[in-house]
Every structure is written in C-alpha cells, then in structure tokens.
A and B are shown apart, each in its own frame.
Chain A
C-alpha cells in the first residue's frame, strides 16, 4: 500500500490529457450532449419520485410507530385495501413512464440514425478495430494506420463530423470516451458505427468498456481533437512511410532481423505484420502500451525489455535483448516520427 502511495506521488497519467476527468455531466460533443439532456430529464423525474416517496415512507414510519405506553393488545383498524388508491398510484406512474418513453424514443432515433453528411470531404471516416488490449485505428481515405490515439478534426457547424466504423479482431470491446459519446461495442463479425463532433480542441481520455480479458483495465484510448489545419498536417505526416534516418541504420537492420517484424508493421520496411500496433509513426503518440507508459526513451527501453512488467498478460513477449541490442532498437524507434 505504501508503495502505491509513493508511486502515486511520482506517477501521473502518462501523457496527461486535459480531459482526463471524464465527467458525463460535461459533454463536449453532440451525442454526449443529447444523452445528457435525457439524463437530466430522467434524473429530475426519478429524483422527485425519490424525494416524495421516500419522504412518505419515512413519515409513515415515524408517525405510526408504536408509542411507549400503548397497550400491547390494542390492534389498529384493519384496513384491507382501496381500489381507488390502487388505481391512482398505478395510473400516475404509467403516465410518467409514457413521458420517459416518448422522450427516449426521440433521442434514440436522433443519436442512432444521425447520418453524416454525404460528401466525403467534410466527413471523416475512421475504422476502429479492437484487439486484446489495444486499439487499431485506420483512416481509409488517407491510407493511415496507427494505434491507441485517434486524431479528429474539430467540427465546425456540420463539417468534419467523425464517423466511426467499429470492428473487432478477437473478443468484444467497447468504445467509451464519456465526454464525446455514449458507448458502442466492438463485436467480432459485426460492424457497428458511432459518430462524434467535438466542437473544441482537446485531448479526451477513454477506456475500453467491455471486459475483454486480463488487461481490459489498461486498454486506454485518447481522442485528440485538433483544428482542421493541424489535423491535415498530422494526417499527411502519418500517411508518409517511415522516416529512414541513416544514423539509425544499424538499429533498423536489427529490428528487421528480429521477430519484431512478425507482429509489427513499419511502412516502408520489411515489417508488414498487423498482429501488434503499427509502429510507423510511433513517436507521434503520447503513450506506449495503450496508455500504460508515457512515450519517453527510458520507458520505451523498459517496455521492450519486459512488457510483462508493465502490462502483465499482454501479448507481447519479453524480447530478451542484450543491452546493446536494446539501445540500437530504441534508437531506431526514436526516429520514427
């Protein structure tokens, strides 16, 4: 416990995003906002019911308690029931429920059937594929593949709504970035979709919200909303093949000769596999291991040396490299901006 406290003092959330307290009462996109409207109405109605009925219950308990001095054998009037009262307190809840049903129906339709504007150059399509325990992020229009961080343009009016296609490579996961939208599951062999329209720039933290195995807790997600110009710059960089820095040539050669390439892809090199996250522009990401470590050289070194230490159970084995090999690999990966 004490080591947890000590750890606490030094460790902050890697890449501390601004919106890390994901309060659903502070929505920052339309789906979350309309869900909050529904929430407020529901809370108001149920809150009122709780206060009224609760008060009645408490009052009844207090008022009709057996008072000291009352004779044990005196029984109160034996009332069996009342049809009028039964009717009253059946009809009233039915009416309340119908109101809630009506409003729900409208909002459900609004969120689910919102189709993005048809023109592709004002809608961003992102394919999100869930893996145990990381997020594969694809931008089909730009030929970009990355992992664990989704960059989206900020929505202006009805331009630049981001539309997600959700799939899974293994088990069921769930996308949840509370301030942007409610949850939608990523289910294998089923295509789901959702959408967001963040109006302001910022970094939003989300979690996988469907238990998917040992490291479900550490399958974190960042949504980075940027001004359209910034987004374009980022996308253009991501679309380029990997940087080929001559000073890291030995590192690259070593990387390509090890089993790293059996799982990872670095576009423009021999590494073409997609079991693990795409590393082409690893250095543009804030974290490693889907949110477990901040993306620093020291952490990268420790991660490659023994991922099981930081994310026990994850599907990357400890590479058992010598110190020198480790230095070379890290030096190479550090060039993948």
Chain B
C-alpha cells in the first residue's frame, strides 16, 4: 500500500556497556543514523559557538576604552573575520542541519532521512571545511604577511581579497573552507527536500506536516538556491587569485561590485536560512506550552513560503551606499520592507497562539518569549535599514551590528536555546535542570540586551564598523563600556548553560517519552528513540496525531 521506505528491523542492540571504546567511537564515526548525525552537528556547532564567542568577548574588551591596546590591529581584523565566518557557517549552518536531521524523520514518521549515506558525507565534509578554515591559523598569512587567519571580513569584499591586497594564503583558506563546507550544506538540503516530499508516513499530507518540518523544508529550498551563487563567487575569487582571472580585477575592467552582488544574493537569503530553525522551534514550543494549536497554520505556511521567495530578491539593500541608480535603490528598499510583512505575520500568529491559552513558563517557553520581543525589535530596525535614505546614515555603522545581533543572537541563538531545552529530554532521555536553565535565561536576557541595545546609539553617533579602536571625545566611550559589560554577563550565562548540559547528561531526571505533553510524532517514541525510530510506521489523520490519541472525543481531524 504505502511506498514508505521500510527498513528491516535490526537485531536488538547490545547494551552500551558491552562496547569497547574503539567500537563506540566507530559507531559515531561510521554512523549513517540521522539521530547520531544530528547530535554530531549540534555538538560541533556548540564547540565553534564557544570558540567564536570568546573571539567576540576579546573584541568587546578591546573596545571597552578608547585607544585600548589589548590586541593588535591585524589581530582584531582576524577576530572579526573569524567570528563572523564561524558563527554563520560553522555554528548557524550545522544547527540548521542538525535540527533538520534529528527531528524531521521523527516528526514525519519515517525511519531515517531519504539518503542516509549522503547525510554522513554531508557532515564530514562540513567538518573538513571548518577544519580547513581553522588550519589557516597555522597555515596562512594575511594582509600584513604576519598572522594567519583571514582578515578580510566575513563578506570578504573585492578587491581587498585580491592578491595585491591580501598577500599570503589566508583568503584562500577562507574561500576553500566555506566552499568545501558548502557542499555539505547542499547535500543536507537535497536530503531534507527528498525526505519531506517522499518519506511522510501514511495520512500525513503536506498540510498535516508539522510546522517545524514546513519551515525546515523551505529552509532547505533556500539553501539549495542561495548557496550556489556564493560557491560560484568563491570559485571566481580563487580563479582571480591563482589563475589571473579578471572577474573582480578593476584594473582589467572587472567589477568590484560584482562580488558584492553575488555575495549578497547568497548573503541575504542566508540570514533567513539561519533564522528559520528558530521560527520552526517557536512554532512547536509555543503551542505546546500555551496548550493550544498553532494559530493560523495555513497562514504561517504561506508566510514562510512567501519569505522563501521574496528573500531572494532583496539583496541589494546591503549595497545602498555603492551608488546605484535611484530606481534600483527604491526597488530594493521596497522589496526589503515587503519581506518584513510575512515575518510580522508570524509574530502576530505566535502571539495569537498564546492568547487564550494556559501558558507554562518552562525554560523553552521563556526563551521563546524573549525571542518574540527581541525579534520584534530586530525586525523593526531592519525596516529602518531597508529605508534607503535612513540606511545611508546607518549602513556600515554599529547600528547594523546591533540589528543583526538582535536577529541572530536575540533571535536565532535564543531560538536554538529553546530548541535545545525542549528536545534535550528526547535526545538523551533526561530532563535539563530548570533552575540552572532559568539562571542561563535571565543572564542571557540581561547580558544580551546590555551588549547590543547600546550599539544602536553608537550607530546614531557615527561609529563605523570594524574599527579596532576609536578616539576619545566622540561620544562613544559610555556605550562601548556598557556593551562590554553586557558581553561579559553573557559569558556567565553560557557557563550556566554548559554546566547544565553536563549536569543533566549525568544526573538529569528521567524524561520518559513525552515530558511536555506534546502532540507531534517524535513524542511517540521512547527517549532516546531506538535506531529504527518507530516499530510500526504510524498512520495519521491530522497535524497533531498525539492530540487525537489523547483526546479521542475531540480529535483535530473533526475540525479540519
């Protein structure tokens, strides 16, 4: 009847104590199980998050006072380049891949992803690309011929990346590391799309698919069409640097602006690619903790699809200062403001989900609530940046830094924390500590807002980005000081998070199958799920199969 993939049930697994260390290691290295790969992705992302976070803290301490000498100028340049590159490509993208891989098959009632071996390949090549970039610390050399890691900024504008201005190999490590890692992301994208289209359990029509899966499906689509322009641009850059090609060589008539177009054609959809896991998480966590279904699921699906298309056409709002024609500036300003509308609709729908509910403020829900307010602010500062004349003052200033950290930390990272606390019990079978979680949450809220709210004012006062120091008397001292204090508080917040992870992994309370009383299929498996996920592939009749089972008098499919 069904064309779902039916893998033969494996033999019962031996208990963990029976494996030697090398056998256990091999099980992780050679795995094609989507759950293990998901865990590998998230663990790798967390490691890079910590490394990159320390880079950020160093930068903030360099800027705490004017004319500070904590780090040398070229070290600072490497710090902001590596911080940005790491956070986007080696924290954000693996979290997208990790959450998709772990949760999608469980949520759609499948046994694994569509292409398990491609999945494994994707992870290892992603890791290889990341290691390639970090190898530059010992292998490359930057603008000054001293130092090592790339120092051209995470968007590496031409012609700063040309051989003439970027001597040594550090820019090549940047391009190659991301190019290679990008192959992994593309593999994941194809895998997610094929899984969502082809492996849904019987009865799960697209409209009954959980919102999480919808969002990650559109995310995969965006990766598929937005990452290739970056890969192409990086190939062009490498050809320029090593074969003498002239793509960005202004001396031979090439265009420095071409790089910007190609980069931002990737770069803008990329920021949506990064935020989607947070959107997806909110669409699962908020309903469960408000005890109501997601308000307006069709509208939410429509909004995410709309974002998936409109976001491909707004890229030049990163380029308002390059001297485009008035027509072009107006078009991109208009498109950028329009893409804010479906995002706003999502915020309204999440709020409406909470309205009339009985909200339980456990730690995942706390992070979602903070997300709502912080992302609202971020979206509105985004509108300010989309309004081209306002952007002419704000572009490349600390206002932009504030905006994107509000979306990425206040949005993406908070959403990730919500997902982590929500699904940790499923992955490990143990609950995380609520008290430590609340410490983590409140320190993050205070620290994060103290760090980045003042940066809006720094932008208003004329402080540009990417400067390793500044002169006193320009009105920037006070806000920089506050910002650094905030960053230091975030450091402690993350410490609480790490302690919580370790403590809960060792001695957390047993979680059971469904600790949150939730409604999607992953909560119908044991915690952690067995390798084959479901003993019998489920058959569903609505978007909330567990609600239907728990409320046989009042199932969802009666109303839909």
Chain A residues with a Cβ under 8 A of chain B = 1, 3-5, 7-8, 11-13, 16, 20-25, 31-32, 34-36, 38-39, 42-43, 46, 49-50, 53-54, 56-58, 60-61, 64-66, 70, 74-82, 85-86, 89-90, 93-94, 97, 100-101, 104-105, 107-109, 111-113, 132, 166, 170-172, 174, 176, 178, 181-185, 187-190, 192-193, 205-217, 220, 291, 312-313
Chain B interface, number of residues (Cβ within 8 angstroms) = 103
Known: A39-B390, A76-B356, A104-B387. A213 touches B329 (CB 8 A): no
Q: Which residues from chain A contact B397 at a C-beta distance below 8 Å? A: 176, 209
B253 CB within 8 Å of chain A: yes
Stretch of B4-12, B104-112, B169-177, B342-350 that contacts chain A: B342-350
Stretch of B119-127, B153-161, B262-270 that contacts chain A: B153-161
Q: Judging by beta carbons under 8 Å apart, are B388 and A209 in contact? A: no
Can you spell out 14 A-B residue pairs with CB atoms less than 8 angstroms apart?
A: A1-B70, A4-B66, A46-B380, A76-B292, A79-B356, A82-B295, A90-B341, A112-B329, A184-B392, A189-B254, A207-B464, A210-B157, A213-B165, A312-B73
Report the Cα distance A78→B542, complex, angstroms.
14
Known: A108-B389, A312-B73. A176 touches B462 (CB 8 A): yes
| CB-CB nearest in chain A for B321 | A183
Known: A25-B460, A185-B322. A38 touches B344 (CB 8 A): no
Q: Judging by beta carbons under 8 Å apart, are A93 and B461 in contact? A: no
Q: Judging by beta carbons under 8 Å apart, are B359 and A61 in contact? A: yes
| CB-CB nearest in chain A for B381 | A46
Option from A85, A176, A184, A185 in Cβ contact (under 8 Å) with B352: A85
Report the Cα distance A101→B164, complex, angstroms.
41
| CB-CB nearest in chain A for B250 | A189
Known: A61-B369, A171-B160, A189-B255. A76 touches B291 (CB 8 A): yes
Q: Judging by beta carbons under 8 Å apart, are B257 and A100 in contact? A: no
Q: Which residues from chain A contact B157 at a C-beta distance below 8 Å? A: 171-172, 210-211
Most buried by A among B257, B341, B387: B387
Q: Judging by beta carbons under 8 Å apart, are B256 and A190 in contact? A: yes
Q: Judging by beta carbons under 8 Å apart, are B462 and A4 in contact? A: no
Known: A4-B66, A112-B329. A50 touches B393 (CB 8 A): no
Stretch of B296-304, B417-425, B436-444 that contacts chain A: B296-304
Known: A60-B351, A85-B352, A214-B143. A187 touches B322 (CB 8 A): yes
Q: Judging by beta carbons under 8 Å apart, are B144 and A188 in contact? A: no
Q: Judging by beta carbons under 8 Å apart, are B65 and A1 in contact? A: yes
Q: Which residues from chain A contact B510 at a C-beta distance below 8 Å? A: none
Q: Which residues from chain B contact A312 at a C-beta distance below 8 Å? A: 72-74
A128 to chain B, nearest CB (A): 13
Q: Judging by beta carbons under 8 Å apart, are A214 and B73 in contact? A: yes
Q: Judging by beta carbons under 8 Å apart, are B467 and A81 in contact? A: no
Q: Judging by beta carbons under 8 Å apart, are B472 and A183 in contact? A: no
Known: A184-B321, A214-B74. A64 touches B467 (CB 8 A): no
Q: Which residues from chain A contact B159 at a C-beta distance below 8 Å? A: 170-172, 188
List CB contacts (< 8 Å) of B237-256 with chain A: 250-251, 253-256
B367 to chain A, nearest CB (A): 13
Q: Judging by beta carbons under 8 Å apart, are A70 and B358 in contact? A: yes
| CB-CB nearest in chain B for A31 | B392
Q: Judging by beta carbons under 8 Å apart, are B296 and A82 in contact? A: yes
Option from B165, B253, B396 in Cβ contact (under 8 Å) with A209: B396
B560 to chain A, nearest CB (A): 7
Q: Judging by beta carbons under 8 Å apart, are A174 and B396 in contact? A: yes
Q: Which residues from chain B contact A7 at a C-beta distance below 8 Å? A: 67
Stretch of B192-200, B204-212, B224-232, B331-339 that contacts chain A: B331-339
Known: A56-B351, A217-B468. A101 touches B333 (CB 8 A): yes
Q: Per-position contact with A for B363-392: 1 when CB-CB < 8 Å, else 0? A: 000000100110011001101100111111
B140 CB within 8 Å of chain A: no
Q: Per-position contact with A for B114-158: 1 when CB-CB < 8 Å, else 0? A: 000000000000000000000000000001100000010100010
Q: Per-position contact with A for B487-531: 1 when CB-CB < 8 Å, else 0? A: 000000000000000000000000000000000000000000000
Q: Judging by beta carbons under 8 Å apart, are A57 and B321 in contact? A: no
Q: Judging by beta carbons under 8 Å apart, are A22 and B462 in contact? A: yes
Known: A90-B345, A100-B387, A172-B159. A78 touches B292 (CB 8 A): yes
B163 CB within 8 Å of chain A: no
**Closest 8 pairs between A and B when the two form their complex, measured CB to CB:** A182-B392, A22-B462, A217-B467, A189-B250, A81-B296, A192-B323, A21-B475, A46-B380
Report the Cα distance A324→B356, complex, angstroms.
85
Q: Judging by beta carbons under 8 Å apart, are A182 and B321 in contact? A: yes
Known: A4-B67, A312-B72. 17 other contacts (CB 8 A): A20-B471, A50-B377, A64-B358, A76-B292, A80-B296, A81-B299, A85-B352, A86-B296, A93-B345, A105-B326, A174-B396, A185-B321, A190-B255, A192-B323, A209-B397, A211-B160, A214-B77
Q: Which residues from chain A contact B395 at a C-beta distance below 8 Å? A: 182-183, 209
Q: Judging by beta carbons under 8 Å apart, are B143 and A213 in contact? A: yes
A58 to chain B, nearest CB (A): 8
Option from B77, B254, B354, B387 in Cβ contact (under 8 Å) with A42: B387
| CB-CB nearest in chain B for A105 | B330
A78 to chain B, nearest CB (A): 6
Report the Cα distance A19→B219, complex, angstroms.
47
Q: Judging by beta carbons under 8 Å apart, are B466 and A78 in contact? A: no
A37 to chain B, nearest CB (A): 8
Option from B292, B361, B373, B388 in Cβ contact (under 8 Å) with A108: B388
A85 to chain B, nearest CB (A): 7
Report the Cα distance A60→B334, complex, angstroms.
32
Q: Which residues from chain A contact B462 at a C-beta distance below 8 Å? A: 21-24, 176, 178, 206-207
| CB-CB nearest in chain A for B164 | A170
Q: Judging by beta carbons under 8 Å apart, are A35 and B393 in contact? A: yes
Report the Cα distance A81→B337, complex, angstroms.
26
Option from B72, B253, B472 in Cβ contact (under 8 Å) with A12: B472
Q: Judging by beta carbons under 8 Å apart, are A38 and B387 in contact? A: yes
B469 CB within 8 Å of chain A: yes
Q: Judging by beta carbons under 8 Å apart, are A213 and B160 in contact? A: yes
Q: Which residues from chain A contact B323 at a C-beta distance below 8 Å? A: 166, 184-185, 187, 190, 192-193
Q: Judging by beta carbons under 8 Å apart, are B376 and A80 in contact? A: no
Report the Cα distance A315→B469, complex, angstroms.
19
| CB-CB nearest in chain B for A9 | B472
Report the Cα distance A101→B65, complex, angstroms.
40
Q: Judging by beta carbons under 8 Å apart, are A313 and B390 in contact? A: no
Q: Judging by beta carbons under 8 Å apart, are A176 and B464 in contact? A: yes
Q: Judging by beta carbons under 8 Å apart, are B466 and A216 in contact? A: yes
A213 to chain B, nearest CB (A): 6
Report the Cα distance A184→B388, complex, angstroms.
12
Q: Which residues from chain A contact B165 at a C-beta distance below 8 Å? A: 132, 170-171, 213
Q: Judging by beta carbons under 8 Å apart, are A192 and B322 in contact? A: yes
Report the Cα distance A100→B334, complex, angstroms.
8
Q: Judging by beta carbons under 8 Å apart, are B376 and A81 in contact? A: no
Q: Judging by beta carbons under 8 Å apart, are A80 and B560 in contact? A: yes
B167 to chain A, nearest CB (A): 11
A38 to chain B, nearest CB (A): 4
Q: Which residues from chain A contact B254 at a C-beta distance below 8 Å? A: 189
Report the Cα distance A17→B262, complex, angstroms.
40
B559 CB within 8 Å of chain A: yes
B98 CB within 8 Å of chain A: no
Q: Which residues from chain A contact B298 at a C-beta distance below 8 Å? A: 81
Q: Judging by beta carbons under 8 Å apart, are B377 and A1 in contact? A: no
Q: Judging by beta carbons under 8 Å apart, are B67 and A8 in contact? A: yes
B5 to chain A, nearest CB (A): 32
| CB-CB nearest in chain A for B296 | A81
Option from B73, B396, B472, B559 in Cβ contact (under 8 Å) with A215: B73
Q: Judging by beta carbons under 8 Å apart, are A57 and B372 in contact? A: yes
Q: Judging by beta carbons under 8 Å apart, are A66 and B360 in contact? A: yes
| CB-CB nearest in chain B for A67 | B358
Q: Judging by beta carbons under 8 Å apart, are B471 and A66 in contact? A: no
Report the Cα distance A212→B348, complex, angstroms.
42
Q: Judging by beta carbons under 8 Å apart, are A32 and B393 in contact? A: yes
